[in-house]
């Protein structure tokens, strides 16, 4: 078991800075057959041409802030140019930084210079552009980052490592004593229950029930009613994959990551408790896996 209580280790501003400095990792995981680019993470600066004689990659993103997991943005490269006047013939985009667990990838954009993108997890994503001219000269890389920030007050994010295991995220309302208890558990079988007052701002919503993949599943509340909420992960039974499966829960309060834990879930059909979230303090406490 590995628990990281970021808010206790660092002020939130430092947590944000750490997120912005997420190192290059697991890029193979970010490659998929639908990507436009196949040169992800290949050396990009092998051109012996002096830098001053090369084309210039110019990159930007619009918007540069999105809400996961449904918002999209575009990475734009149309401002790239060659001082020597040759046409730009290749726009080579790759994702070189993303939150751990992300499977987000690039897809064709509105022009040959651009790419569409959809951030799947909260965090920082960095795209890299290298351009080439018709005479084979290539630019030095241009990099641009976007931030995927939850806009609900409480955002619980869950993803797992191996596909074919169908993990399910549950959020228990204050007063609930066990999962799937009437309307007091928000999960795939009760995705948008009415909690708290008559309005919907204090109601939870599960945005995705991922069965074949590796998540994410997110449960969010715009403005939670005061009380103690519990986060539980159910290793849904009857899955193809029965090996231990590292499963991560991230808790965001007011758009900032305040708690994260990755646990190895081993037993089909088991409910694993992760955390208690106190509202309105936003304090998050570990739960033993067997309950709290």
Return residues touching Ca ion (CB under 5 A).
Answer: 165-166, 168, 196, 202-203, 209-210, 235-236, 239
Cα–Cα distances (Å) from 160 to 157, 211, 221, 225, in that order, read 11, 11, 22, 29
Cβ proximity to Ca ion, 82 vs 210, nearer residue: 210
Map tokens 């680019």 to a residue: 37
- The least distance separating Ca ion from the CB of residue 217, rounded to whole angstroms, comes to 6
CB 194 to Ca ion: min, Å: 5
C-alpha 110 chain-centroid distance: 24
Which residue of this chain has its Cβ atom nearest to Ca ion in the complex?
Answer: 239
Q: Residue 194 contacts by C-beta under 8 Å, 6 or more apart in sequence?
A: 183, 200, 203
Bridge partner list, 90:
132
Q: Which of 189, 186, 195 is nearest to 158 (CA)?
A: 186
Cβ of residue 17: shortest distance to Ca ion, in angstroms? Answer: 33
Give me the least distance between CB of 198 and Ca ion, in Å please.
6
Closest to Ca ion by CB, 114 or 235: 235
- Closest approach, Cβ 226 to Ca ion, in A, equals 13
Nearest C-alpha neighbor of 35 from the set 98, 103, 89, 102: 103
Contact 3, 286 (CB under 8 A): yes
Between 185 and 235, CB nearer to Ca ion: 235
Q: Which is nearer to Ca ion, 55 or 196 (CB)?
A: 196
Residue with Cβ nearer Ca ion (166 or 261): 166
């Amino acid at each position: 078991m590995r628990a990281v209580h970021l808010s206790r280790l660092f002020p939130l501003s430092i947590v944000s800075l750490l997120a912005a400095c997420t190192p290059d990792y697991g890029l193979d995981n970010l490659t998929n057959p639908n990507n436009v680019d196949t040169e992800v993470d290949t050396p990009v600066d092998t051109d012996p041409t002096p830098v001053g004689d090369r084309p210039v990659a110019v990159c930007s993103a619009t918007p540069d802030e999105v809400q996961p997991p449904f918002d999209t943005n575009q990475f734009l490269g149309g401002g790239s140019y060659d001082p020597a006047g040759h046409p730009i013939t290749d726009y080579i985009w790759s994702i070189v930084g993303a939150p751990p667990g992300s499977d987000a990838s690039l897809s064709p954009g509105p022009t040959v210079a651009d790419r569409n993108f959809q951030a799947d997890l909260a965090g920082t994503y960095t795209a890299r552009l290298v351009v080439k001219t018709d005479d084979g000269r290539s630019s030095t890389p241009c990099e641009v980052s976007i931030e995927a920030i939850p806009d609900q007050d409480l955002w619980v994010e869950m993803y797992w490592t191996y596909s074919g295991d169908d993990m399910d995220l549950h959020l228990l309302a204050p007063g609930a004593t066990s999962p799937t208890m009437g309307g007091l558990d928000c999960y795939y079988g009760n995705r948008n229950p009415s909690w708290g007052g008559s309005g919907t701002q204090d109601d939870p919503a599960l945005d995705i029930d991922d069965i074949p993949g590796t998540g994410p599943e997110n449960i969010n509340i715009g403005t939670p009613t005061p009380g103690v909420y519990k986060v539980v992960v159910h290793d849904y039974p009857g899955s193809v994959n029965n090996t231990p499966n590292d499963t991560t829960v991230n808790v965001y309060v007011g758009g900032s990551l305040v708690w994260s834990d990755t646990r190895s879930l081993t037993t089909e059909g088991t409910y694993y408790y992760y955390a208690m979230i106190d509202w309105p303090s936003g304090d998050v406490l570990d739960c033993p896996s067997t309950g709290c």
